[in-house]
Structure 1
């Protein structure tokens, strides 16, 4: 028996298809092809009966029908493929084959773990579907198709609950995007409730221009080229991309099986070859600090109980590094590693922090609370000449301070105080003379503001030996320092040697008040290897930083009480002995006693200016004023030498005429003028001895 219908609407096909003829095929077709046009319908059927017309049975069924612009429900409740062109072929009374092409698969993105809402559209290429079991209650479907679309929409389709794939095993990545070409083969019962063991899937996807968020510790993958293979047992991903600015190779596997004996559910590995060029593109200003290459390995495992682990390993053997506190040459072995624990995707622990290399050994861990690292704890670190323990507080937010506590037998700060060998001065020329004679004052101390505020920090340090140069050290150092990201705001400092000394910096309403004291300046200068010519001298510096001004200028007074100058110049001893009192009181030998030094001073923009400074004993005095340009290492000081100081200064204190008798504050009626100028490491001294014959204000005529 045969029949033909040239053209009809698929929605009306049931009216032309007898209910008793090929009942299974009729039911599936009329229920799942709900729109479109049918044409060239041709059906052949073979019937047989051994008991008359009432017992006729369908033995064979052939032919088929072509369709265009169809809505094909291939697996309800997944939305249908719309606008598809298809050819249906009857393969006997129990099977139906559908070849289709040129359709659009819509997909609901909401709740599909792709961080998007709305409806996605996936282009459907050539595909084939075979339905068997049309004569029984439940049919089987064998579906093969190709899909082309956005990675986000393809992953949303694979997360459809009907497929029991990514809906049960969501990927850890976020905000996926890119281009995907997917070949999918699916075999499953076409009923409403499918067990996982009844579903058989085999898919392969090629992805390009991929973005995946939160691949490793919040870092995103950009420009990825990935290949994905998926079955009902698991999913595997291989490819390359740029992770956090670093070109990387990735491998990722997820196990879908429900076997309780399987402990690891997800595993991933990332490998990156880091060069200076790669580091610069990733946003790290390595400049001349890094050459060669480093290899980074990141491993990840997620377990069945929801916990996970990230392993970090950095191979620095082929890298040359120069940072202020440590350096290594290319070819020297060095490695760094850490292990990070996760619980339900949140940070749970940081353990086994380890770094080893030439003059380098660090072991530590972090305290974690509420999914956030609170403190980094390093026990027994060794970096260069430094060794000790440290705790570093990790700020919870951008406005929170970094807190550092150090307890060290030895702490070497000399690399931080010496010129940085890796610093690039190409865009900041060094002024003439500065390299040899400049005395740079740290920004945190000077108060000068450069750019926007940085990270605030707080340091507590207890150091038995603090090395500030190759062969020079302070001992018994205890310090508390606070910086608000712009300047040092609070300080308490004390040390035992070379001489006991202390300093306090306190913020007040009119600025930061500084008080600093050195018990024995001579001992300090000898211990710091500055000079051995001084002995004694209790020194106090006190003043105020005016933080109302951008440069935070300092105004204060430096005072020094009795101090002896050894091997004093002959001219100084001669001037001292010019008075009978000075000759009688002078120390024996080539020494000179200074009873008091008072130097009112200001500091602004790298220049220290002395105002009306006085150095004196009972028989000789010196006045001093002028600038010292610390940034450029130059000075221009002027003053007077006042013999018979105790008597000679009396006219300067007379009411009304004191400034005429002694124009310099603390000066005398008779005094010799001098100038100290030039480079600070080689100043030139010029004394005008004839000025002593011009009393009072007349001295200004020969200056």
Structure 2
């Protein structure tokens, strides 16, 4: 049946009416149910097992699994009014990742929901919890949170205010001890942010650092996060307590073991992290940041002098690299002017540090560091190096593996140094290097050196290369220089003959040394001496500038000491020396032409300890000039036998002991032995001449000299040229810190053309004096001369001499350095007749009180140089009987010692 329009609206209105009645009934039922729930809650909490499960399910997701042991609903609005919010007591909350690893455990938390939320107001839920623990930590956690639920009561966002109490936070090996802390966590789907993070680390030693941190994480299929942490200050001594053991453990071990003093300030690090969606693992992707270092002590290589007072920065540009930059510091007395250490492989098992530093110091301070163990780079350097003066700048690089048992050879150490204004005593003190510039290049395997400056006052260059490691490591040295005044003086060549004058000019030379410093080395020196003026006065040889000349010497060294001369060649006008070393260390002199000398021979080293060096020379001529010795035979205090032992044998047809026109000694032989420069025992012979030296007690030696022609011997020695004939017997002892004493006896000696004697006698007018000096010269039939020598002074102790016509006595001194004398003498004319009364028994002393005197004699004092003496006579003494001369003091002035 067709319905009319009015019926349709009537039916629709009836339906709406019925629906309204149903809704009204439902509302009444809901209100009644709410009232019943409120009434029930007025008696206590209502256990809601399904609520706990539902809320745990809603809170889980994105790799997070939440478990709740139970949930209770409470409400105080029945007593306090309808505005009181509902409170849910949640128990046993555990948050885990997909692998079941628990992150946090909350024993209980209260979640407050405003009643309006029941009707869709979406006000935040408030959650309060305490006593929570992060897994592996002991620090209690309190949480105050506001949670905004989303559709279906899912999480829209939440703000969690977290407070930490004292305890340990973090996993074992990655934990820190704190006294408290706090942070704010902002959570939203696929986003977590932590702000205002603060941790107060537990004080250790003098450190109590405050740590700030922030965290950001986002989920885009996988989680990516960034953690930034800052710290104000920590002392290096306390760093092991704050650096977790499993955080870059190898770097931690190296840093904490080798940075032992100082402060780290203003640390700031950012860590890039990533995790899969289910948070089953966490990976460190990037690390950046650093801190400022102040007054650090850095042990950059075990056993080596450490870096101290080091100021700089520590930065990590990435997770595998750490860079230590130094602005200032010291290595003992060496100043660090800048440098870096870059540590590679921080996140790997093994790390390597690249060190590069710039240093500046004085040479003594720098050498002290280089020679300290385990470097010992200068252990084989010459002694003069330790006292060298100057400055050095150096660039040092090394690659240091961070391992426990590190050896120098494994470090790649490389030192490049520049030494300037170097002044250093050489291997031949006192010769020195001055104003020298040196470039040094040192590695753990090799030392290279190039120097340019002055040696012994002349320009010189040195090049050196030595392998480092063992005493058998090879080394080569080449030096180019020039011999000048200082070197001539050192070699004893500064005094030449009167004709040539002092040694002068320069002679360029090249010295080469090769071989291990701790073993066998070969050395050679070659020099062009053409431009030099050189003389050997002891051999009567000299060369003038421009005369061609060449010198070459080669030798073998053992452990830095001369073991043998292996070759010698010297060529110049009047000079031809050639010799070679032999097996066993002996040296054969094939030819030695030096002025008049013509010789050959050999030098043999000792085979066993205590044995002497043996020298053997022979030839037709030996010309060796004696040196003037102002203190000969002094017997100085501390006189000892020291030096290398030697034994010598000489055989020459003629031996010249003075310059022409002094005669030579024919058939000269010498056999002797000694220590150093001391002749201990000797026998020498020539035609009409013999000499013997024998050791005595207390370092004394006896000397015996015999000559059948004293005049010739005196001329050969260039001692006195106006005597002829005569026999001489001299016996003396010397040495042992005592004066030399002895007696010389002369017989039948004639003084011919002796101006000093003639001048003395001409001052006398006594009868017989003119006879004595006329004819072929004054004859001395017999003379006895007791003497002593000390401090360069010859003392005559009652010397006497006589012939039939004249007699003498003498007491006084002669300075051997300048031949000045002060002598009291008595002259007795007609000696044979005049001295006869003095020999009468009992009455002799009345006529001749002095030994060798007579009845009539003249006393005089002789002073001044022997070549031109001053004679002071006492004429009254000539007419005074002997006993009255002594009684009235008519003997003239007492002798005084001349300076």
* C-alpha contact (below 8 Å) 1:457/1:484 kept by paired residues: yes
Question: How far does residue 255 in structure 1 lie from its aligned partner after superposition?
Answer: 4.9
Q: What is the aligned counterpart of 1:555 among 719, 731, 741?
A: 741
Aligned-partner SS, 1:537:
strand
In the alignment, is residue 226 of structure 1 matched against residue 393 of structure 2?
yes
In the alignment, is residue 69 of structure 1 matched against residue 69 of structure 2?
no
Deviation digits for residues 387-418 of structure 1 (CA, Å, limit 9, x no counterpart): 66997999xxxxx999896969899876964x
CA distance in 2, matches of 1:470, 1:380: 29
Question: How far does residue 86 in structure 1 lie from its aligned partner after superposition?
Answer: 1.7
Question: How far does residue 665 in structure 1 lie from its aligned partner after superposition?
Answer: 0.9
Q: Which residue of 2 aligns with 1:325?
A: 492
CA distance in 2, matches of 1:107, 1:144: 11
In the alignment, is residue 100 of structure 1 matched against residue 267 of structure 2?
no
Distance 1:537 1:631, change over 3 A: same
Structure 1 residues not aligned, in runs of 5+? 23-33, 50-56, 133-139, 153-176, 257-264, 276-289, 395-399, 418-439
The within-5 A match list for 1:351-430 is 351-354=523-526, 357=529, 358=532, 359=534, 361=551, 363-368=553-558, 371=559, 373=561, 375=563, 377=565, 380=568, 417=628
Question: How far does residue 243 in structure 1 lie from its aligned partner after superposition?
Answer: 6.0
Deviation digits for residues 322-372 of structure 1 (CA, Å, limit 9, x no counterpart): 5173248776333252415336xx35435225555334735142442xx45
Question: How far does residue 458 in structure 1 lie from its aligned partner after superposition?
Answer: 5.9
Q: Which residue of 1 aligns with 2:848?
A: 662
Question: How far does residue 698 in structure 1 lie from its aligned partner after superposition?
Answer: 4.2
Q: Which residue of 2 aligns with 1:126?
A: 313
The within-5 A match list for 1:335-350 is 335=509, 337-339=511-513, 341-342=515-516, 346=518, 348-349=520-521
In the alignment, is residue 42 of structure 1 matched against residue 214 of structure 2?
yes
Question: How far does residue 557 in structure 1 lie from its aligned partner after superposition?
Answer: 1.0
In the alignment, is residue 315 of structure 1 matched against residue 481 of structure 2?
yes
The within-5 A match list for 1:450-465 is none
Distance 1:372 1:514, change over 3 A: same
Aligned-partner SS, 1:553:
strand
The within-5 A match list for 1:559-574 is 559-566=745-752
Aligned-partner SS, 1:326:
coil
CA distance in 2, matches of 1:366, 1:540: 47
* C-alpha contact (below 8 Å) 1:503/1:515 kept by paired residues: yes
Q: What is the aligned counterpart of 1:12 among 169, 183, 194?
A: 169
Q: What is the aligned counterpart of 2:460 among 281, 284, 295?
A: 295
Structure 2 residues not aligned, in runs of 5+? 1-156, 176-181, 186-190, 193-203, 275-284, 372-377, 400-411, 426-433, 495-501, 535-549, 578-591, 593-600, 892-899
* C-alpha contact (below 8 Å) 1:575/1:620 kept by paired residues: no
CA distance in 1, matches of 2:162, 2:623: 94
Aligned-partner SS, 2:474:
strand
Larger-Rg structure: 2
* C-alpha contact (below 8 Å) 1:321/1:329 kept by paired residues: no
* C-alpha contact (below 8 Å) 2:786/2:796 kept by paired residues: yes
Question: How far does residue 151 in structure 1 lie from its aligned partner after superposition?
Answer: 1.8
* C-alpha contact (below 8 Å) 2:672/2:679 kept by paired residues: no
Q: Which residue of 2 aligns with 1:682?
A: 868
Question: How far does residue 460 in structure 1 lie from its aligned partner after superposition?
Answer: 5.3
CA distance in 2, matches of 1:331, 1:408: 33
Q: Which residue of 1 aligns with 2:266?
A: 85
Q: Which residue of 2 aligns with 1:542?
A: 731
Aligned-partner SS, 1:513:
strand
* C-alpha contact (below 8 Å) 2:509/2:528 kept by paired residues: yes
Aligned-partner SS, 2:633:
helix
Distance 1:675 1:480, change over 3 A: same
Aligned-partner SS, 2:513:
strand
Question: How far does residue 101 in structure 1 lie from its aligned partner after superposition?
Answer: 1.2
Q: Which residue of 1 aligns with 2:709?
A: 520
CA distance in 1, matches of 2:846, 2:605: 62
* C-alpha contact (below 8 Å) 2:211/2:229 kept by paired residues: yes
Q: Which residue of 2 aligns with 1:217?
A: 382
Deviation digits for residues 296-322 of structure 1 (CA, Å, limit 9, x no counterpart): 525132167751315152512676655
Aligned-partner SS, 2:845:
helix
* C-alpha contact (below 8 Å) 1:64/1:87 kept by paired residues: yes
Q: TM-score, normalised by structure 2?
A: 0.53
Question: How far does residue 696 in structure 1 lie from its aligned partner after superposition?
Answer: 3.5
CA distance in 1, matches of 2:611, 2:571: 24
* C-alpha contact (below 8 Å) 1:2/1:43 kept by paired residues: no
Aligned-partner SS, 1:590:
coil
CA distance in 2, matches of 1:104, 1:205: 18
Question: How far does residue 634 in structure 1 lie from its aligned partner after superposition?
Answer: 2.5
Question: How far does residue 600 in structure 1 lie from its aligned partner after superposition?
Answer: 1.5
CA distance in 2, matches of 1:441, 1:318: 28
Question: How far does residue 5 in structure 1 lie from its aligned partner after superposition?
Answer: 9.3
CA distance in 1, matches of 2:272, 2:485: 68
* C-alpha contact (below 8 Å) 2:310/2:330 kept by paired residues: no
Q: Which residue of 2 aligns with 1:27?
A: none
Q: Which residue of 2 aligns with 1:533?
A: 722
* C-alpha contact (below 8 Å) 1:274/1:295 kept by paired residues: yes
Q: Which residue of 2 aligns with 1:203?
A: 356
Deviation digits for residues 601-624 of structure 1 (CA, Å, limit 9, x no counterpart): 233444323233222345543333
Q: Which residue of 1 aligns with 2:798?
A: 612
Work out which structure has the larger RCO, using CA pairs closer than 8 Å and 6 or more positions apart in sequence.
Answer: 1
